[in-house]
Structures are given as C-alpha cells and as structure tokens.
C-alpha cells in the first residue's frame, strides 16, 4: 500500500514536470499547421542543400581540404556551413511563402505564359542581383559582401550561399520578390526560375567547371592581366566589374573571387 502510494506520488511528480516542460517549450510544431507555400519553401531549401552537398562531394573535395588546411580556413568553412543552413532554412522558406502569397498567380497559366513569366523572372533577378552586387562593391556597402569574398583562393560550391544575411536578403531574395511582383508568375514558373538561378549560382562556384582555354573568353584575358603586374590587376578588376550579368560564366566568377583576393590577404 505504502509502495503503491509512493509510486503514484512519483508518477504524478513526473507528469507535472512533463507538463511544465511542454508549457515552457510551447505546443509541438505540427507540419500540418504549416502553410503549403512554406512547406514548398522548405522542400526547395532541402533540394538546394542536397545539390550543394553532392557538388561539394563529387567535384570539390580537394578545394575543401585545401581550404581547411589551416585554423583560419577551418573557421571559415564552419562559418560557410552555418551560413548555408541559416540562409537556406531560415530566410529562404519564409521569403518563398511571402512571395507566393502576395505576388504569385494561384491559377495555372498556359505553358507559353508560364515559360514567358519564368524567363521574365530570371531576367529581373539577374538585373536585381547585378545591381545589388555592384552596390555591395562600393566601399560603403562592402562590409555586407566581405564574407563571400573571404573565399578567394579556394572557392567551393558551398561558398555560393555563404553570404551574410544582409547580402542573402538584399541580393538573393529581394530580386526574386521584386521579380514576382513585376512578372506575376504562376507557381511552376517561380519554381523553374528558382531552380535555374540556384543551380547556376552553384555551378559558377564549382571550380572544376571553369574553362579558361577559349582565347576569346573575356575571363581568359582577365587571367593574363591578373598574372602580370599590380596595375593590370586593377584594370582586370575594373573589367570584371563591368561584365554584364549574361556574360558571367564559372571562369568569370572565379576570376571575380581571385581578383578580389589579390587586394586582400585572405585564406
Ligand atoms: Zn563580389
Ligand atoms: Zn561568388
């Protein structure tokens, strides 16, 4: 009897403690209470992270090892992984849900209109990113872009989304929201545009895809300039900044990272 009382007493203490824990944590998160747009946003984020991981694993293991060969590089790589998780999982999905709720058409367009709005969105995003990127190279805003250019000698696919929160919101997300407001795409057009922009962003940060053999490629000229004298490095940087958005290949973007590196002592 005494034992039974002790047991019920202990059991009720455990139950009270469990209730207190739940009250402190709040109600458990239920995936069914999340909006479908937010769920799609998380799916896009998961796909982006998976593709980043696969590209890193299949194309960039040597670069990862070189980057992590000293304590500063190890810290930078840790910051890179954190930025990928924060940007993709915390900022991307709510932005996707916001753009979809406010600006995306809820009825499905004809194939032609869908393709046209996806192309419009890609062009608007490219223009927005180009403008924001140029602005972030101004001394007054370089602080927001500095982290991305810490990847100078060793660029990896994961560095594509290793940007400060300000850069991610301003240069990556805002052009999408503005593009949705301008082009009013349907959801499949938005998803297609997001896929094109995200995959392209990862590919221009994958050094194995760099092609510098074409003598007419402007980036080949930049490499030659960069390897000569300091005065030419500044010319190379100027040319690199003037390249239009549509001319940016992996080689162009790698050059952009390297030219920046020649100005700063980085990892
Ligand atoms: Zn830059
Ligand atoms: Zn970059």
Query: In this predicted model, what pLDDT tens digit does every residue of 137-184 receive, in sequence order?
Result: 999 999 999 999 999 888 999 999 999 999 999 999 999 999 999 999
Same domain, 46 and 160: yes
40-65, pLDDT tens digit by residue? 999 999 999 999 999 999 888 999 99
What per-residue confidence (pLDDT) applies to 94? 97
pLDDT at residue 233 is higher than 80: no
Measured in angstroms, how far is the CA atom of residue 64 from the centroid of ligand 1?
21
Same domain, 158 and 174: yes
Same domain, 105 and 189: yes
Q: Which ligand is nearest to the CA of 203?
A: 2
Q: Which ligand is nearest to the CA of 206?
A: 2
Check the CA dihedral 200-202-204-206 and report its sign: negative
Does residue 135 sit within a domain? yes
Same domain, 144 and 254: no
Same domain, 191 and 261: no
pLDDT at residue 37 is higher than 50: yes
Does residue 29 sit within a domain? no
Does residue 16 sit within a domain? no
Measured in angstroms, how far is the CA atom of residue 7 from the centroid of ligand 1?
66
pTM: 0.74
Measured in angstroms, how far is the CA atom of residue 34 from the centroid of ligand 1?
36
Q: Which domain holds residue 97?
A: 35-208
Of 208, 231, 250, the one marking the end of a domain is 208
Measured in angstroms, how far is the CA atom of residue 8 from the centroid of ligand 2?
62
Does residue 24 sit within a domain? no
Same domain, 58 and 70: yes
What per-residue confidence (pLDDT) applies to 162? 97
Q: Which ligand is nearest to the CA of 137?
A: 1
What per-residue confidence (pLDDT) applies to 14? 53
Residue 121 corresponds to which tokens in the numbers above? 């969105």
pLDDT band at 208 (very low <50, low <70, confident <90, very high): confident
What per-residue confidence (pLDDT) applies to 167? 97
Q: Which ligand is nearest to the CA of 148?
A: 2
Same domain, 108 and 238: no
What per-residue confidence (pLDDT) applies to 88? 97
Q: How many domains does the chain have?
A: 2
Same domain, 182 and 231: no
Measured in angstroms, how far is the CA atom of residue 119 from the centroid of ligand 2?
23
Measured in angstroms, how far is the CA atom of residue 204 from the centroid of ligand 1?
13
Contact assessment for residue 179 and residue 129, using Cβ atoms and an 8 Å cutoff: no
- Check residues 20 and 35 and name the one with the higher pLDDT: 35
């Amino acid at each position: 009897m005494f034992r039974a009382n002790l047991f019920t007493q202990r059991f009720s203490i455990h139950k009270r403690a469990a209730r207190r824990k739940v009250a402190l944590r709040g109600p458990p998160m239920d995936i069914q209470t999340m909006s479908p747009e937010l769920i799609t946003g998380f799916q896009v984020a998961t796909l982006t992270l998976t593709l980043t991981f696969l590209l890193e694993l299949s194309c960039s293991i040597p670069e990862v090892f070189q980057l992590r060969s000293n304590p500063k590089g190890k810290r930078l790589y840790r910051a890179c992984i954190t930025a990928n998780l924060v940007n993709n999982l915390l900022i991307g999905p709510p932005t996707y849900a916001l753009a979809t709720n406010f600006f995306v058409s809820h009825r499905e367009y004809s194939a032609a209109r869908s393709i046209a709005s996806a192309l419009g969105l890609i062009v608007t995003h490219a223009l927005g990113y180009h403008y924001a990127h140029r602005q972030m190279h101004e001394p007054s805003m370089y602080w927001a872009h500095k982290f991305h250019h810490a990847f100078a000698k060793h660029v990896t696919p994961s560095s594509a989304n290793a940007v400060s929160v300000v850069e991610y919101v301003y240069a990556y997300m805002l052009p999408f929201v503005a593009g949705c407001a301008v082009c009013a795409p349907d959801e499949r057009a938005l998803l297609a545009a997001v896929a094109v922009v995200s995959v392209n962003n990862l590919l221009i940060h994958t050094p194995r895809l760099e092609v510098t053999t074409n003598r007419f490629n402007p980036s080949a000229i930049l490499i030659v300039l960069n390897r000569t004298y300091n005065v030419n490095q500044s010319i190379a940087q100027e040319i690199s900044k003037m390249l239009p958005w549509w001319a940016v290949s992996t080689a162009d973007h790698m050059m952009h990272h390297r030219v920046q590196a020649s100005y700063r002592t980085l990892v």
